[in-house]
Structure 1
Amino acid sequence: MARQSAEKQANLGMSVEIEPMEAKSAEALPTGMGWQFEPKWDGFRCIAFRSGGRVDLRSKSGKPLGRYFPELIAFLASLPVDRFVIDGELVVEIDGRLAFDALQARLHPAESRIRKLSNETPARLVAFDMLMGKDGVLLLDQHLADRRARLEEFCKTIPANPRQFVVSPFTRNREEAASWLSGSGGDTDGVVCKRLDEPYRPGERAMVKVKRVRTADCVVGGFRYGNDSHLVGSLLLGLYNDNGELDHVGFTSAILDAEKPELTRRLEALREPPGFTGKAPGGPSRWSTERSSDWQPLKPELVVEVRFDQVTGHRFRHGTKFLRWRPDKSPSQCDFRQIGQ
């Protein structure tokens, strides 16, 4: 249905209904021939449309993004090409590194604020697929190898502006892609794997994504009880900042039910304020919830190793995966240096 809708819209001169092709998770890079590997960028997925003087940016969910990124609308409208559809990622770079929190700050209702940010921290479109060429012909049925060639040909026809538009690098060498995964930190959090001989499949999980495995040793600065339960539901994690204060950085809730009674008794015996001496749960932030203040502070004695994907604003962006207790680690060793912050 998505493809038929896209073709119908293309005949009208503007498509806003091509769903992005998505990826399914895997633990390892695929083997064999015929794969293209690309960095998994730390930004907002975006499909950019141009038809005549009209430009549109759409998120992965189909919501319009143009009002939040006026500098990109202006740039794409200025290109000497009347029509195209490009799949890519919106990113913001600050001091040589991608800043996801700066990207999130764009989703603000005040136009004056958006204009200010667009001048101070302009966004860039990292293009990785061509879905419609400048001739107005949809390329969804063409193989990735052909679509990539069309994207590179397109880029030769427009003025170079790496500040606002670049083409994502790629490799067809699995060993090189594996080296991307082994890196620590950086602007990407994994690798996206695509078949060279496959068409673009809107809305389908037809790609493979492999995330970089990153771990950190964290102090357990507090815990929360589970909903309607007297047993532990999640552990609150902390890292020491440069001032020697313990900042709250996230949580982990991957605790086996069989272990909860004994762990709850262990944690309750360590209850002692303040728990976190720096940034604490319940402070004003976009992560706050109605339960943010409902937590129990602990003596900073327990250390756990967790797996995480990305860090934004000195916090784990998502919940972490509990790996193991680290009785061999001193809490004082758990600082931000191990996650590159």
Structure 2
Amino acid sequence: MDLPVMPPVKPMLAKSVARIPPDMHYEAKWDGFRAIVFRDGDEIEIASRTTKSLVRYFPELVRALRERLPERCVLDGEIVIAHGGRLDFDALSERIHPAATRVKTLSERNPASFVAFDLLALADESLLDVSLADRRALLERALCDSTPPVHVAPATTDIEVARRWFDQYEGAGLDGVVAKPLTLRYRQDERQMFKIKHERTADVVVAGYRLHKSGPVVGSLLLGLHDAGGTLQHVGVCAAFTTKRREELIAELAPLRMESAAGHPWAAWAEETARLPGAPSRWSGTKDMSWIPLRPELVCEVAYEHMENGERFRHMARFRRWRPDRTPESCTYAQLDEPVGYDLADVLGPQG
């Protein structure tokens, strides 16, 4: 492979802001795997945000990219999987599997798509120092004949359209909106863009915690919600605490600490069907996943962006405050906002 922009490339990043800024280029924020795609003739490389190769996990994309991309190019975009008209991050996560046979089966059952939103090189020219407005025009021309599963991300410079997208696209599983200055050059690993994400709050049960790697202080709180049958389901964690606060939490939670998990709603963590805090996964690797059970009597309010398949927090929740006025039994899925459905095909337009 011999391209004007060669791997490794660390993608340009975005900083969080509360509101959509004016006078910019706007795109939907995709909830998938960020990827830099390199094509030089028959050679294809797909690199993750951390520059690791994803080629072995997405064989169907390698074939599609070889057939649909310009002969020599470097693209920035997102790998996504759609199911039932929505993005399905769980299905995407399953693709990171050590067994090639499993990857092949999943690639046939739930094929992935690539949504391109930036062009870093074309033919023999590096575009890293070209303005975003010009890079976007070149991207649209380069992929004008592309067909699914390769898409060009919808974009606009109309802030009212961006605001409408922010409200509508969540129903298709998208994360929010990204705003980019039109004069922006591509700057690797720098937070030069802006992301505006959905945020909601929920009252949840604190049913355990994990220790922080720095010592005997709280690392993360384990959160639960009751399902329709009254079972407390593990829905995620919150962990962004200062060192001082981590120490304080140990003392605050001590009266609720259980000597063992016997009698705890999550005692059967090893059951295959349980979404529970001790369950091993291919993501955890050698990470210590042990946890301290608490009597599930304490309620706190957390902020979250959205739910994955309506079952758990897609990203880490953020602690807001204790809720001594709420009972654990009142912390149910029924309190959660459900975004209005929106078909992903309508986001991608005629291509999709």
In the superposition, the TM-score normalised over structure 2's length comes to: 0.79
Query: Which residue type is aligned with residue 129 of structure 2?
Result: D
**Alignment partner, residue 332 of structure 1:** 329
**Alignment partner, residue 28 of structure 2:** 39
CA distance in 2, matches of 1:234, 1:19: 29
**Alignment partner, residue 10 of structure 2:** 19
Query: Which residue type is aligned with residue 277 of structure 2?
Result: P
**Alignment partner, residue 246 of structure 1:** 232
Equivalent of 1:143 in 105, 114, 131: 131
Q: Give the count of matched residue pairs.
A: 324
Equivalent of 1:71 in 44, 60, 75: 60
**Alignment partner, residue 166 of structure 1:** 151
Residue 142 of structure 1 and its aligned partner are, at CA, apart by 1.8
Residue 95 of structure 1 and its aligned partner are, at CA, apart by 2.0
Residue 217 of structure 1 and its aligned partner are, at CA, apart by 1.4
1:154 to 2:180 alignment: no
Whether the aligned pair in 2 keeps the contact of 1:271 and 1:297 (CA below 8 Å) is: no
SS of 1:302's equivalent?
strand
**Alignment partner, residue 130 of structure 1:** 119
CA distance in 1, matches of 2:189, 2:222: 36
Equivalent of 2:3 in 10, 17, 22: 10
Query: Which residue type is aligned with residue 333 of structure 1?
Result: S
CA distance in 1, matches of 2:133, 2:87: 28
Whether the aligned pair in 2 keeps the contact of 1:91 and 1:124 (CA below 8 Å) is: yes
Query: Which residue type is aligned with residue 216 of structure 1?
Result: A
SS of 2:188's equivalent?
coil
Higher relative contact order, chain-length normalized (CA < 8 Å, sep 6+): 2
* Partner deviation per Cα, 1:141-198 (whole Å, 9 max, x = no partner): 221111111111222233x22xx11111223233443454456664222322211112
SS of 1:78's equivalent?
helix
Change beyond 3 A, Cα 1:323–1:178: farther
Change beyond 3 A, Cα 1:245–1:339: farther
Equivalent of 2:97 in 98, 103, 108: 108
Residue 268 of structure 1 and its aligned partner are, at CA, apart by 4.6
1:213 to 2:199 alignment: yes
CA distance in 2, matches of 1:16, 1:238: 42
Where in structure 1 are there 5+ consecutive unaligned residues?
1-7
SS of 1:71's equivalent?
helix
1:320 to 2:317 alignment: yes
Residue 262 of structure 1 and its aligned partner are, at CA, apart by 6.0
Residue 115 of structure 1 and its aligned partner are, at CA, apart by 0.9
Residue 286 of structure 1 and its aligned partner are, at CA, apart by 4.8
1:29 to 2:20 alignment: yes
Whether the aligned pair in 1 keeps the contact of 2:258 and 2:292 (CA below 8 Å) is: no
Matched ranges for 1:293-312 at <5 A:
293-298=290-295, 300-309=296-305, 311-312=307-308
Change beyond 3 A, Cα 1:104–1:215: same
CA distance in 2, matches of 1:192, 1:203: 16
**Alignment partner, residue 3 of structure 1:** none
CA distance in 1, matches of 2:220, 2:39: 47
CA distance in 1, matches of 2:18, 2:259: 37
Residue 254 of structure 1 and its aligned partner are, at CA, apart by 4.7
Equivalent of 1:188 in 169, 174, 179: 174
* Partner deviation per Cα, 1:293-333 (whole Å, 9 max, x = no partner): 441230x3322111124544743354321101223434333
CA distance in 2, matches of 1:265, 1:336: 27
Query: Which residue type is aligned with residue 71 of structure 2?
Result: D
* Partner deviation per Cα, 1:41-61 (whole Å, 9 max, x = no partner): 111111112222222211122
CA distance in 2, matches of 1:178, 1:165: 25
In the superposition, the TM-score normalised over structure 1's length comes to: 0.81
Change beyond 3 A, Cα 1:182–1:332: farther
Matched ranges for 1:194-209 at <5 A:
194-209=180-195
Residue 91 of structure 1 and its aligned partner are, at CA, apart by 0.6
Q: CA RMSD in A?
A: 3.2
Where in structure 2 are there 5+ consecutive unaligned residues?
267-273, 340-352
SS of 2:92's equivalent?
helix
CA distance in 2, matches of 1:306, 1:113: 36
Change beyond 3 A, Cα 1:252–1:267: farther
